[in-house]
Amino acid sequence: MNSTELDELMKRLKRTLEYVAEAFPDRLSPEMLWNAGSAVLREAIPLNPPPDWAESLAETTLIDWYALLIEDSDLFESRFNQREPSSLQARFTVMDATALAEQLHSDSPLMTGAQRLAELLTAANRADLMITRLHPSDFYLYEDRLDADWESLLGSARNGTDRLLSTYELGWMHPALRKREIPPELTPAAATTHTYAYWILHTLTRLPPAANQASLLDQIERFRVYNPHLPNALRAWLRTWLRLPADSRQTPLECWQALQALVHDCETQSEIAIARHETGGESLFGRNKRSHQNEDMLVILNDVPGATLLAVADGVSTASLGSGGQASFTVRELAERQRRTLTERLDALAASDTWEADGWQLIEEFFENAHQAVVDKINSHLTEDAESPATAETMSSTLVLALVRGNRALIGHWGDSRAYRLSPQGVVRLTEDHNVEMEALLRSRESRYERSDQGAALVRVLGQCRYDPQTRRFAAVEQKVSRDTCLLGAEDWLLLCSDGLLSGLKGESETEKEQRLLALLGRHHESHCRELARQLSRAADDDKGDDNITAVLLRVIVDDDPQTEHRAAK
């Protein structure tokens, strides 16, 4: 039946009901007539009826086409004919990265659609249906109601083995399905929830298909390269729900509830303009390090109550013109030389109404000055008889710098020195490394991601320069400072560290190393930041100790915090 025929049918039905109502005004109510008309329509026009296991969702989740047809035939026609533009895929592909990040709030269309989809998939799991493939074009979101291409969805659930090949190529599957067969220990909940979580990741980041599970895990670690506006805490959520054990019984609805809790936490975080800061740092040579100096450096400027500047620099040890230690030490020299000026600016920022803009300006200027200072140090090594300086490996250094006012931190960085937010609940990495692998990932956003063989080579560092044969000197290469921010809660620590800290801790994967970090935090969480930094550094030294190790910590102290005096005493 086409739209013209349907419209004519509705008009005839309306006239018939009007005649009947006029003929029997005392015996037939409008409600009785509508119920009778609804029954006729249900038999005459099967409108994509949901399966029996989804009937329980009719009142809250699924769109009721029959009711809409009876109540407003024009609205029914416009919506039913717009199914494809209303698909979950179409709804969000029109948004850029910023708009997608803004969808992570409690009442957004994305969160509403995610909830409805989670309810539907959970109902399918309870009916023992395993969804091995989930494509957002099969689902349609109308305001706060969902409709589905039931044939496609049920085909995925009942013929999962036939769909494993295409699913595997897309990367939308539980890792237990890697052998292209459904193992007996794989529960419907584990497979479906994994698939659901992948839809969230794919929608928010527009990631290219993962070649395999290892590539998918790499994408989780680097998801903010594709959408830098997303909260860092989302990484922990993705890790949990995209690494479910095959026998897990956690449902898509529980997955959505965890995402909603994360969104709620982000929404309810509030900025505190005035608070005291506890700080501490430690830098170790590394007992198994094969070099002659500690090429790490740290800076802590905390003379202004409530406004603190922290920095960690790690000299790159491959230089033939100068040394990594000289490059990182140049940063500390700059901070000491400008200490008075920096303190005055921090004092102004503590009371500023435009402190964030002014803070970013301070960070950008510090990076620019430090960058130029390292290049000047490189040029000081040039001599008249120097051979082929254009091919020399010039000294360089990473730099991660945090400016904290109250409980808000502004973080800029170059290289692979990192910033983390630590809490008893987990470890959140705040920065992404600047290396060859990351640059390749940035260049190949629309293609299949593959790991680079030269992932460790840094591409954005202090001292990045080019030799000018006319002036016979090196000139600094302009680079963009990566920006990150975070709010620190009462149980949070801000950690800046060189790569030697995480690489030195025991663990095969980054997740395992972060779990080791979390365990150390649990044992020493009542310690002062100085002692905690010492314990973290010593643990990395004891585990491997094959690199310089530096850790700098900051914790926000609210005056009514009952632990303040206890930690201060320690």
| Per-residue pLDDT tens over the stretch 406-452 | 999 999 999 999 999 999 888 889 998 888 877 766 665 544 444 44
**DSSP secondary structure string for all residues of 75-131:** HHHHHHTTTGGGBHHHHHHTS-HHHHHHT-STTSHHHHHHHHHHHHHHHHHHTT---
Q: What is the pLDDT of residue 131?
A: 86
Domain end residue (candidates: 215, 246, 268): 268
Residue range 515-532, pLDDT digits in tens: 999 999 999 999 999 999
The verdict on 211 and 345 lying in the same domain is no
The verdict on 385 and 463 lying in the same domain is yes
d(CA 265, CA 284): 36
The verdict on 177 and 323 lying in the same domain is no
Mean pLDDT across the chain, nearest whole number? 85
- Here the CATH number for the domain that contains residue 486 is 3.60.40.10
In a domain, 30, yes or no: no
Is 129 exposed, middle or buried, given 0-12, 13-18 or 19+ CB atoms closer than 10 A?
Answer: buried
Who wins on pLDDT, 569 or 445?
445
Residue 311 has pLDDT above 70, yes or no: yes
Residue 292 has pLDDT above 90, yes or no: no
Domain end residue (candidates: 235, 268, 301): 268
Handedness of CA 536, 541, 544, 550 (dihedral sign): positive
What are 553's strand-pairing partners? 280, 495
The verdict on 405 and 532 lying in the same domain is yes
Average pLDDT over residues 540-550: 95
The verdict on 332 and 430 lying in the same domain is yes
The verdict on 451 and 421 lying in the same domain is yes
CB 133 within 8 A of CB 201: no
d(CA 223, CA 219): 5
In a domain, 48, yes or no: no
Query: In the structure, how many helices (H) and strands (E) does the chain have?
Result: 22, 14
526 is in which domain, residue-wise? 276-569
For residue 469, the 8-state DSSP code is T
Rounded to 10 degrees, the C-alpha dihedral 458/464/467/471 comes to: 180
Identify the band that residue 165 occupies on the pLDDT scale cut at 50, 70 and 90.
low
Q: How many CB atoms lie within 10 A of CB 523?
A: 11
Residue 268 has pLDDT above 60, yes or no: yes
HEC profile of 163-203: HHHHHHHHCCCCHHHCCCCCCCCCCHHHHHHHHHHHHHHHH
What is the pTM (predicted TM-score) of this model? 0.79
Residue 15 has pLDDT above 80, yes or no: no
For residue 293, the 8-state DSSP code is S
The verdict on 367 and 481 lying in the same domain is yes
Task: Count how many domains the chain has.
Answer: 2
Q: Which helix (H) or strand (E) holds 47?
A: none
Identify the band that residue 30 occupies on the pLDDT scale cut at 50, 70 and 90.
low
Identify the band that residue 43 occupies on the pLDDT scale cut at 50, 70 and 90.
low
Contacts of 3 (CB under 8 A, 6+ apart): 77, 81
Provide the percentage of residues in the chain whose pLDDT is more than 90: 50
The verdict on 112 and 231 lying in the same domain is yes
In a domain, 337, yes or no: yes
Average pLDDT over residues 546-564: 81
Phi, psi (degrees; rounded to nearest 5) at 269: -65, 135
The verdict on 435 and 344 lying in the same domain is yes
In a domain, 38, yes or no: no
Within 451-559, residue ranges assigned H as helices are: 499-504, 510-524, 529-543
The verdict on 211 and 303 lying in the same domain is no
